[in-house]
Amino acid sequence: MESLHWADQFAQNIIREKGKKKRYTIASGITPSGTVHIGNFREIITVELISRALKNAGKQVRFIYSWDDYDVFRKVPGNMPKKSMLKENLRKPIVDIPDPFETEKSYARHHEVDVETDVAKVGIFPEYIYQSNKYRKKDYNKEIDIALKNTKKIQDILNKYRKEPLNKDWLPLTGFCPECGKDEIKFFDYDNKDNVKMKCILCNKTIDVNIKTANFLKLPWRIDWPMRWNYEEVDFEPGGKDHSTTGGSFSTGKEIVELYGWMAPSYLMYNFISIKGTGGKIASSKGNVITLRDCLEVYDPEIVRYLFAGTRPSAEFAISFDLDVLKIYEDFDKCERIAFKKQEAKSDKEYRKQRRIYELSAVDKPAKNMPFQPSFRHLTTIIQIYDKNIKKILNYYKPKTKADIKRITSRTNCAINWLDKYAPEDIKFRLNEKISSNVKSSLKEKEKKALLILAAILKKKKFNEKDLFNEFYTISKNLNLEPKTFFKIAYKSLVNKEKGPKLAPFILEVGQEKVSKIFYQLKQ
Ligand SMILES: [Zn+2]
């Protein structure tokens, strides 16, 4: 039966376009010029999801990820420390910029390590290719030679989309001065064979360059990209909305790659990601850059995957950090229940769709049996009752398997981070050990009496949620107290606030005896 999932459909599209092959090469990449944000992550996970789809269709896959760390460092991002040091290093390749955080061997490596570490947590393991290595090892010198020999043709292709045509002496070549390491250089006097002259504007020096042996040359982006499609024999590579316009680097690349004797890869445009509900908390310290790491602080890895697997790449969507986090966990849990047929889907079509989204959300292999589902919403209350103590929280849930322990622990950590960083104030509370004297003195005699009656019956009888809820109304009615007032004074005594989690389940979770003891403090 044909899959309804976009990743499977696109995998079939690749097979159709590229013909039946044993192995397909699929690619993704980025310039590590600054913090790699969650929008950039969309590209990596899009390729990874298609990689899984191709494998499920019985194909071998080579998934390459290119770090374009031989690109020039053009601009110091707003969220970096040591700005003046970075500024002095502008116009050098990113791989040669010192790490302003001083933890890695270079600025490029710093961002690469961040991403390589985090994508592994969501089950993504591409083959990384470092472009600075490739160029400096002279792996591409033959390809640079081909570009130069096709200078006129490349000029014509690029000029089709330019307002101002390129200068007649323009060459498809760039690089870095071997003296000062920067790219403020000019190439001229190409002899149509192996030699060209290079002048560094900064050093004011001219040198003879042998195209076949120099290790400081590079192709400009619009030629570099299609050159690598040919070099790695790429069958599929997606591009962001910005690369996808007419005259953009994909459309010129499509023509340039033919000069190398290869065809442009199957292409997929992915849309932007927006961020919702960070409340400006991140904006001040990090230049409003949200990374995969930020998302993994509040979302389990499988839920991060679920967000992307469940949305077509062409659709724009928002990653939420506000109350919607609770709903996204609930949506995932529902998808999981449908996948295991513990909850009925609207139709067989819906079941198959949810089942496939669930499979693709798994970090490793999907679970064989339906995992335990600690509700994220409920966890936010439990965590606060047990003062963020993971031992007590595990003891509350009494998990039976290692997988259950892992899921509870992971969700607990996410919920703690969410409460600390993003949760609205009215969700947060802390259980009183002692009722404050302020609260005590603010209560009227009748109000104290109501809570003392509750204290007495909580000690005497074991309640369920519904009966306890009804009891609140009986007590209020007998004392001629507004139920609204009853709830308010109960919350004030328990959590020092006028509102809180739903009272009956909250009291049952804290424990009748413990709550009873707290209310008894009003006797005196
Ligand atoms: Zn120089």
Q: Which residue do the tokens 């389990």 mark?
A: 300
Ligand 1 centroid to Cα of residue 67, in Å, is: 25
Q: What is the per-residue pLDDT for 287?
A: 58
Cα 35 to middle of ligand 1, angstroms: 28
Ligand 1 centroid to Cα of residue 331, in Å, is: 57
Q: pLDDT by residue (tens digit) across 7-29? A: 999 999 999 999 999 999 999 99
Please give the model's pTM, rounded to 2 decimal places.
0.92
What is the CA(177)–ligand 1 centre distance, in A?
5
Ligand 1 center to 139 CA (angstroms):
24
d(CA 255, ligand 1 centre) in Å: 33
pLDDT higher than threshold 50 for residue 284: no
The yes-or-no verdict on residue 210 having pLDDT over 50 is yes
Whole-number Å distance, alpha carbon 93 to ligand 1 midpoint, is 13
Residue 236 has phi, psi (to 5 degrees) of -150, 135
**Cα of 185 to ligand 1 centre, how many Å?**
7
Q: How far is the CA of 366 from the centre of ligand 1 (A)?
A: 55
The sheet with strand 195-200 has its strands ordered as: 185-188, 195-200, 205-210
Q: State phi, psi for 303 to the nearest 5 degrees.
A: -80, -35
Distance from the alpha carbon of residue 196 to the mean position of ligand 1, in angstroms: 16
String of DSSP letters for 141-194: HHHHHHHHHTHHHHHHHHHTT-SSPPPTT--S-EE--TTT----EEEE---SSS
Give the C-alpha separation, 205 to 197, whole Å.
10
From ligand 1's centre to the CA of 171, what distance in Å? Answer: 19
Q: Is pLDDT above 50 for 226?
A: yes
Residue whose tokens read 């009615």: 477
Q: From ligand 1's centre to the CA of 98, what distance in Å?
A: 18
Asked if residue 282 has pLDDT above 50, the reply is no
* Cα Rg of the chain (Å, integer): 31
From the CA of 175, how far away is ligand 1's center (Å)?
A: 11
pLDDT at 285 over 70: no
205 Cα: distance to centroid of ligand 1 (angstroms): 7
| CA 30 / ligand 1 centre spacing (Å) | 27
Tell me: the pLDDT tens digits for 141-172? 999 999 999 999 999 999 999 999 999 999 99
Lowest mean pLDDT among 82-86, 98-102, 157-161, 269-273: 269-273
